Structure 1
Amino acid sequence: MMDLFQGWLKKLFTRGSDADGYYSETEVGYDEALNTGQSQLFTALDVGTAYAKAMIIEVQGDHAEVLGVGRYPQSYSHMADGIVTDIQGVIANCNEALLRAEKSAGTMAPAAVIGIAGELVKGASTHVSVTRQHPTRPITREELEQLIVSAQKKLLKNAKARIAAETGLSNVEVRLTNAAVISVRIDGQTVTNPIGFPGRYFSLTLFSAFAPLMQLGALEAVAQGLDLSLIAIVAEPYALARCLSMNAGTDSGAIFIDIGGGTTDIALVRQGGIEETRMFALGGRTFTRRIANSKGISLKDAERLKLSYSSGEMKGSAVEEIRTILEPECETWMDSVELLVEELSKGELLPPAIYVVGGGSALSDIQRKLEAFPWTERLPFSRQPIVRTVLPEMVNHILDPQGLLQDAQDITPMALAFQAVELQNENSVLENALDNVIDRMHI
């Protein structure tokens, strides 16, 4: 994956685009904050609907050590369903989280990886192939890049169509947030570097995530307001899948569900590669509003009741009252998960493992819904999947010697931190070819 974001505002206003959304060739300068292979400090920033979370890390080889962590609540008027609605308000909240992280770490880390979420962030993979007319000739870099271009065009077209269908607007500006080559095959054999191989059948699977320009612009403004050097903006479901699939311990893959304050994000990893992501606007704040409306109390008081209920501190008849109030929303949430997992499956067998993260996963009702759901009867599972909440100590590549990370709500910033690890270490032929293509296409 590469730095896909630096300079896009400048490019937007200095070049014209064709009908497909691609830009003419120009010289582009990317942020040079990365020194591959050397120890370096980064900030991972999760601009969540309920909380802004900042993490200062030091990347060392294939892992990172957490130096400092900061959290600060977001106002209901500043974020909605994972999307920034008040840039200055979010800057102020993120600044508080960042100051706390820097104080905890005793240092600053201007180079930042920021997560992006929301229903209009579209991540998908596609498979493209070509039959080579001269199979005895070695495959060249130009052939590899041409195949990547073909896949990227296909993914962008599909993302723009999906966003247009959901918004009812045909000309929403869409930009690439992150991309990765999942696999390459020559005559059916998987290779890590196709350059120099002979072969007739050359194929590639590419994952890309796209988001509306408005959302990306808001996060760029937040980064600038915090004096951060933006290294990458990464779709959070992708970051989670990349990070947690390294720990899943199964070749068959897994389904990852992140229950945040404003959205629920779902990612499918199958046979070692991330296939697709889905998001829907139902998270922890929905349950808070339900309690507030049912009891006629403020959102602040409703949040306090929800946390007391989730932690098990609540006793007596109040427990059953809150459970009854939340049941319709929990049922709606489960129906939405079923629908999106069915879409992700495309009728093919799903991996029998579901990993849950995010602050919303603390709601025991959600856990019970997932565990009791008749997965094998309703969806293509060969057996009832295990359902497991991911805790910080389960993430191998992010070390927390000070014990600063608390629970499942810290997993998303950990996943963003892992993206910094990958950025620091990427230097393969596939990654370089992908970087060249994206640089040339300016999407």
Structure 2
Amino acid sequence: MPFNILQRKPKNQNFFVLEIGLERVTCAIFNKEDSQLKLAGVGRKKFSSHEDIFNSSIEALDALSAIVPDIPEKGILGISGGSLETITTIARYERPKATKPIDHKETEQVLNQVIENLDKTNKKIFFSTISGAKIDGVSVTNPLGLRGQKVELSCFVAFQSEVEVELLNRLVGEIEIDVKKMLPTSFSVCKILEQKEVKNALLFRVGLAKSEITILEEGHVSDIYPFDLGMNNLSYIQFAWEAALKDIEKEHAPSLIWLLADNDEAELEKLKEELKSYDWQSKINIPINPKVEIVSSVHHFSVSDITLYALAQEGTTNEDS
């Protein structure tokens, strides 16, 4: 009599992603089956002001519920634009025990000390992380488990105004989602950009009236800048990248500019031509002409879903950790 071997079903998890974009709220549900991510449904709603975000989020959730009635309890929240403000602080120190591996407790203590010394007047920190490191002069992405004496940790911190944080807390309470992680969306998108093995780059997310520039230095996010300039202000949009890059060191000049549309109405070909024809050397003293690319599909996810895919990766990391 043959034995029936028990076939285990793949572990199936699902989670909710809410993204507050520059001009649009997007809700999505992802199913995770082993290592595969599948988009189960999406709901979207535009907004034109900060005051609209709450109602637009509820409407986007209603649209999603019509497709997938069962909304997961756990979720990831991505933030773009608005009062978003970021800072990267380099914490330098010498370790008394150079042969001891760096652990999470050590990096957390350094990050907390940096946070303690930051000016938090009228704003709240919603995300912080070690975005990169140098150990004895060697750049590394993740210092955990490594040994060394002289350490430099890049401590990335993101703030929002107290008013916007309170609105998000009210929204999360209304939709009854257990937010496991809240972070700048562009921080997640840049992890996809890092896979292109570009050390210094610029992610330029653009809507009709707003945009956001994220600067990647030495392979990690250093700053994110929101602007009230978009495709409707094409004659003036150069002021956005000039402001974002005004203090950049020459060795960190971007070799690549990645253009990402915030919504389907933002057609980026004209902006691509503006960037390609811009005189970087004479206007802002950048010695190279960066390559300009418009973001295409990633891992079978369309352009309009790339931010969701990037945030979903955070969801899988969170579940696995």
Q: TM-score range by the shorter chain?
A: 0.7 to 0.9
Superposition deviation, residue 130 in structure 1: 1.3
Alignment pair present for 1:340 and 2:244: yes
SS at match of 2:159: strand
Q: Are 2:153 and 1:204 aligned? A: yes
Asked if structure 1 preserves the Cα contact closer than 8 Å seen for 2:83 and 2:164, the reply is no
- The aligned counterpart of 2:224 is 277
Aligned letter for 1:351? P
What letter matches 2:223 in structure 1?
Answer: E
Give the distance between the partners of 2:92 and 2:284, measured in 1 at CA: 30
Q: Are positions 1:351 and 2:254 aligned together?
A: yes
Aligned partners of 2:208, 2:181: CA distance in 1, in Å? 23
Question: Quick one: distance in 1 between partners of 2:116 and 2:192?
Answer: 27
Alignment of 1:222-371 (within 5 A): 222-246=171-195, 249-283=196-230, 287=232, 329-343=233-247, 345-357=248-260, 358-359=262-263, 361-371=266-276
Partner of 1:389: 294
Q: CA deviation at 1:380?
A: 5.1
Name the TM-score, length of structure 1 as normaliser.
0.62
Given that 1:350 and 1:380 are in contact with CA atoms closer than 8 Å, whether structure 2 keeps it comes out as: no
Distance 2:171 2:241 in 1: 31
Q: Which has the higher strand share?
A: 2
Unaligned runs of 5+ in 1: 1-36, 161-170, 288-328, 428-443
Describe the shift of the 1:45–1:146 C-alpha distance in structure 2 as closer, same or farther (beyond 3 A). closer
Range with greater deviation from structure 2 (228-237 or 357-366):
357-366
Q: CA deviation at 1:265?
A: 0.8
Higher helix share: 1
Question: Is the Cα contact below 8 Å between 1:119 and 1:281 reproduced in 2?
Answer: no
Give the structure with higher Rg (CA).
1
Q: Is the Cα–Cα contact under 8 Å of residues 63 and 421 in structure 1 kept in the other structure?
A: no
Shift in Å, 1:66: 0.9
Deviation, structure 1 residue 133: 4.6
Runs of 4+ aligned residues of structure 1 deviating over 6 Å after TM superposition are none
Please name the residue that 1:123 is paired with.
Answer: 86
Q: CA deviation at 1:48?
A: 3.6
- Residue 372 of structure 1 corresponds to 277
Contact 1:48/1:261 (8 A) holds in 2: no
Structure 1 contact 115–236 (Cα < 8 Å) conserved:
yes
Partners of 1:138 and 1:107 in 2: how far apart? 44
Say if 1:236 and 1:416, in contact at 8 Å, map to a contact too. Answer: yes
CA distance in 1, matches of 2:124, 2:116: 12
CA contact (8 A) 2:259 2:268 kept: no
1:414 equivalenced with 2:319 (yes/no): no
AA aligned to 2:307 is T
- Is the 8 Å Cα contact of residues 56 and 102 (structure 1) preserved in structure 2? no
TM-superposed deviation, 1:95: 2.7
**Quick one: which of 76, 87, 97 aligns to 1:113?**
76
In structure 1, the residue corresponding to 2:113 is in which secondary structure? Answer: helix
SS in 2 for 1:85: helix
- Alpha-carbon offset, residue 38 of structure 1: 5.8
- Counterparts of 1:30-179 in structure 2 under 5 Å? 39-48=12-21, 50-60=23-33, 63-74=36-47, 76=48, 80=49, 84-86=50-52, 90-105=53-68, 107-133=70-96, 135=98, 143-154=106-117, 156-157=118-119, 160=120, 171-172=121-122, 174-179=123-128
1:85/1:339 Cα in 2 relative to 1: closer, same or farther (>3 Å)?
Answer: same
- How far the C-alpha of 1:151 sits from its partner, in A, is 3.0
Change (3 A) 1:51 1:277: closer
Using the TM superposition, give the Cα deviation of residue 190 of structure 1 relative to its aligned residue in structure 2, in angstroms. 5.1
The one of the two structures with greater contact order (alpha-carbon pairs below 8 A, sep at least 6) is 1
Q: Percent of pairs identical after alignment?
A: 20
Structure 1 residues 422 and 373: CA distance shift in structure 2, 3 A: farther
Secondary structure class of the residue paired with 1:109: coil
What is the CA–CA distance in structure 1 between the aligned matches of 2:174 and 2:99, rounded to whole Å? 55
TM-score by length of 2: 0.82
- 2: distance between equivalents of 1:44 and 1:142? 29
Structure 1 residue 67, shift from structure 2 partner: 1.1
Between the aligned partners of 2:216 and 2:155, the Cα distance in structure 1 is 13
Report the Cα offset of residue 208 of structure 1: 1.5
Q: How does 1:216-227 map to 2 (within 5 A)?
A: 216-227=165-176
Report SS of the residue matched to 2:197: coil
Q: For the residues of structure 2 that align with 1:49 and 1:138, how far apart are their CA atoms?
A: 41
SS in 2 for 1:149: helix
Q: Provide the C-alpha distance between the structure 1 equivalents of 2:103 and 2:40, rounded to a whole number of angstroms.
A: 43
Matched residue type, 1:421:
T
Structure 1 residues 196, 283: closer, same or farther in 2, change over 3 A?
closer
Instruction: Return closer, same or farther for 1:181/1:93 CA change in 2, 3 Å cut-off.
Output: same
Q: RMSD over aligned Cα, in angstroms?
A: 3.0
Alignment size in residue pairs: 309
Shift of 1:350: 1.3
Shift of 1:257: 0.6
Is the alpha carbon distance of 1:187 and 1:222 closer, same or farther for their aligned partners in structure 2, counting shifts above 3 Å?
same
